[in-house]
Amino acid sequence: MSRIENEIEHGKYLAKGGAEAIWNWDSPAGKKRAQRRAELLVKYGEIKSTDKILEIGCGTGLFTGKVLELTGATDITAIDISPELLEIAKLKYPTPEFILGDAMKLEYPDNTFDVVFGSSVLHHLDMEKTCKEIYRVLKPEGRIAFAEPNMINPQIAIQKNVPFIKKWLGDSPDETAINRWKFKKMLAKIGYNNISIFPYDFLHPIVPSFLVNFTNEFSKVIEKIPILKEIAGSVIIIGFKK
């Protein structure tokens, strides 16, 4: 099957099995991680209430809702390739515009959006093709803000590169993870500037509730330690259109 067909099938699997449970966002640690991720996307993506915003790979609308809550934005368009996940999102959040769409072929004019953001979506896609499309629809000085899995993390490296583990853990066939140095070069080649890609997050989803706050704060300390920070679970990706 093609990448698109694989992702549509993956969306059906996620919707049937409980997407946020599969993504590990519904545990006590997962909820803390999701909130912090949304706050970082808003902070470093400079997302404001007045921005015209596009979210790609919105899934069940978890981060759509969090960005709404954090910014009060009124002009958010959220797209996903999965009709099943979009139906869940629409039930949760009636206000944003949830649309079936392919992030690798955006159906919007050039220079449309102030910000394009997403959580754990680029690693499912043809990343260069998607980032070129995003660049096209961004206004001049528009921003991108993404959170993605970090390939340097040992657990993620195994999960994304060992086929039977990848299948066992429910990954889609084409998904991978981000090498931040290679990804920065790709963004610069496309034309983005002021690019910042930094690793963060040592709070694992299985951390028990009584240790979540301590581990979250300890994570922030480790994120400042050279070399050690490189194996964090996620990266934040920020870039601007010239």
pLDDT tens string 77-114: 999 999 999 999 999 987 788 999 999 999 999 999 99
Which residues on neighbouring strands pair with residue 198, listed in sequence order? 236
For the CA atoms of 226, 230, 234, 238, what is the dihedral angle to 10 degrees? 70
- B/e letters for 163-196, b = 16+ CB within 10 Å, e = fewer, are eeebeeeebbebbbbbebeebbebbeeeebeebe
Q: How many folded domains does the chain comprise? A: 1
Look at strands 76-80 and 97-100 and give their pairing. parallel
Confidence (pLDDT) at 91: 92
Model pLDDT, residue 17: 84
Mean pLDDT (the chain) is 96
- Domain range for 178 is 3-241
CATH number at residue 88: 3.40.50.150
| Residue of 3 and 194 predicted with greater confidence | 194
Cα 17 to the chain's mean position, in Å? 20
Polymer length in residues for the chain: 242
Write the pLDDT tens digit of every residue in 165-220: 998 988 999 999 999 999 999 999 999 999 999 999 999 999 999 999 999 999 99
> In the predicted model, is pLDDT for residue 66 greater than 80?
yes
pLDDT in the model for residue 157: 97
Q: Which of 200, 3, 9, 19 lies closest to 92 in space, CA to CA?
A: 19
User: What does the pLDDT average to over 111-129?
Assistant: 98
Distance CA 149, CA 166 (A): 14
The pLDDT value recorded for residue 94 is 79
Q: Which residues are within 8 A (CB) of 207 and not within 5 positions of it... i.e. 6 or more apart?
A: 28, 29, 215
Share of the chain above pLDDT 90, in %: 88
